[in-house]
Structure 1
């Protein structure tokens, strides 16, 4: 009976997320920066899987790392949505905050989503854009040697996948990564759901949908580019990882944090209390303080690591 239900429910949920939610997703009404940040311009960046649309937001002229320089640092953002929702601008509140309060150029990647495009298309697209950003400093007016990446949920997974591909390729060098509730393993544990408050945003049904639609074959979920906690954390840059108290993924995230720290990685872990997995993009005013808290953590972290060598 469950197999029959999955044959109906999984395609339906995938269609709702990839079509309906993609069309209606909007960023929450949270404005952290008071500086002027212009609307993004669109660049189609070439990748091995064809051109990918990117929304490029320039920093505020008076932002900390943008003053007195023609070449500010660059932050790449990968949005969430279970690898099914194609709505990069749901992260506009985070993008604008980084552009305004840090002074980085932000490249918000509109990567290809499932079920039409399956693993490893999205992570390879994102990595190719990372390489493009590192090589395009002179033509695009940024510092291709000062790179950071960030993402939420599925986007956090893609960000960690980019770091794995960079490790394999010997670059580009990434200064740091700032991740919100990243998915680090696709094989959700029953014990994790049992230890989570009732009716979590990421439930077992959603995890089955992601598993069935993101991969051509479920065995691909064992690839360290996908379940990143199965990979080698040696040599990772400093990480900021933000968890949510009521999130069913909290337990796998905390295991990953512990393992990375044990392997010598500089990891800062922040747990946001009283919220579920979707809090950072929720339109509810109830979680607005937690959204601002999270963005403040990210901006402070990027300022610390972009300024580590004393350059503006």
Structure 2
């Protein structure tokens, strides 16, 4: 997917995707200026040209979509040669309602993770709705993870067996998809950090519970049908799919270490808290069994689960990305 398409995708899809209904087309046209504005902010905030850190832009081929590739930014630990030592691998996935966003969007976070942990951080993008619906974006980031497993050690001396993930908004949903895919492999994701992540897409945005303090009228309500353009067309078919709805996922398929952040003035609050509570209850039972003795032999502590969360008062969805308020919307 070309870099230019990232900036004009709503306009392109409105005019050149004949299968889209008119109710989506006119919203895409109205959404185009907002996307252009937020992409401009994201790009210049996170531009590798303006950064003093070692950052490179790469294009990662998609094995399930021959001829397609996605753009990613690689953040290198400052002051460290890529050949000096093996280091962890971290994958970050941006948000944007499955509609847009750039890998530069989370640059401050990615730079901090790389600098403080010594990890190679790869911030990737994926193909967008409404042109592409579930499971395309999930398959794209899984293909990225597979490519990094095969190439990161040779390119940057990064160890894919020490892989962690993070995601903002829908990026968190996609990050959990990577975790589910790799859960039974030697490259099982070690930990995940999720920021205001939708974990239950069985309901469209307008039917989700509104927490106390939520605005009576959302000024961006006209784009809500766009925010459902990825899951909505496939909802009935995949209503019980844990990849799209991580709230349904078996805890054994998720990372053992998870940190989940959310805002208390967010329509995602209810599902996030249910998700956290369920995982904490199940992890407590699992950890009790691990700490017990079976046939006189203790199980490995590496199998223990650590699920933590923090929900912040008076914070809306995407509050950590307030400079990018449109694409941080659900």
Measured in 2, the distance between the counterparts of 1:110 and 1:175 equals 21
Measured in 1, the distance between the counterparts of 2:272 and 2:122 equals 25
Deviations 1:162-211 (A, max 9, x none): 212223x6352111000100010111585722645225879876554332
Instruction: Give secondary structure in 1 for the equivalent of 2:128.
Output: coil
Measured in 1, the distance between the counterparts of 2:228 and 2:191 equals 28
Question: Rg larger in 1 or in 2?
Answer: 2
Corresponding residue to 1:24 among 31, 38, 54: 38
Q: Equivalent residue for 2:153?
A: 138
Corresponding residue to 2:72 among 54, 58, 64: 54
Correspondence 1:47-126 to 2 at 5 A:
47-49=63-65, 50-61=68-79, 69-126=84-141
Q: Equivalent residue for 2:243?
A: 225
- Identify the range of structure 1 (110-119 vs 134-143) with the bigger mean alpha-carbon deviation: 134-143
Corresponding residue to 2:310 among 267, 270, 281: 270
**Gap regions ≥5 residues in structure 2:** 1-20, 284-304, 325-330
- Identify the range of structure 1 (17-26 vs 46-55) with the bigger mean alpha-carbon deviation: 17-26
More strand by share: 2
Measured in 2, the distance between the counterparts of 1:77 and 1:260 equals 22
CA deviation after TM superposition for structure 1 residue 109, in Å: 0.8
Q: Equivalent residue for 1:281?
A: 321
Q: Equivalent residue for 2:273?
A: 254
Deviations 1:21-58 (A, max 9, x none): 1563334969xxxx952233323334312322221111
- Identify the range of structure 1 (118-127 vs 265-274) with the bigger mean alpha-carbon deviation: 265-274
Contact 2:212/2:265 (<8 A) preserved: no
Measured in 1, the distance between the counterparts of 2:170 and 2:154 equals 30
Q: Number of paired residues?
A: 272
Q: 1:183 aligned to 2:223?
A: no
Distance 1:194 1:73, change over 3 A: closer
Corresponding residue to 2:182 among 166, 176, 189: 166
Q: Equivalent residue for 2:54?
A: 38
Instruction: Give secondary structure in 2 for the equivalent of 1:43.
Output: strand
Distance 1:60 1:45, change over 3 A: farther
**Gap regions ≥5 residues in structure 1:** 1-6, 285-312
- Identify the range of structure 1 (232-241 vs 146-155) with the bigger mean alpha-carbon deviation: 232-241
CA deviation after TM superposition for structure 1 residue 254, in Å: 0.5
Measured in 1, the distance between the counterparts of 2:280 and 2:219 equals 26
Distance 1:67 1:52, change over 3 A: closer
Instruction: Give secondary structure in 1 for the equivalent of 2:99.
Output: coil
- Identify the range of structure 1 (114-123 vs 76-85) with the bigger mean alpha-carbon deviation: 114-123
CA deviation after TM superposition for structure 1 residue 95, in Å: 1.3
Instruction: Give secondary structure in 2 for the equivalent of 1:118.
Output: coil
RMSD between superposed Cα atoms in Å: 3.2
Q: 1:157 aligned to 2:173?
A: yes
Deviations 1:133-152 (A, max 9, x none): 22224311211211101101
Distance 1:22 1:123, change over 3 A: farther
Measured in 2, the distance between the counterparts of 1:201 and 1:270 equals 25
Q: Equivalent residue for 1:234?
A: 252
Contact 1:156/1:183 (<8 A) preserved: yes
Measured in 1, the distance between the counterparts of 2:31 and 2:155 equals 34
Measured in 2, the distance between the counterparts of 1:203 and 1:234 equals 38
Measured in 1, the distance between the counterparts of 2:143 and 2:208 equals 37
Distance 1:15 1:260, change over 3 A: farther
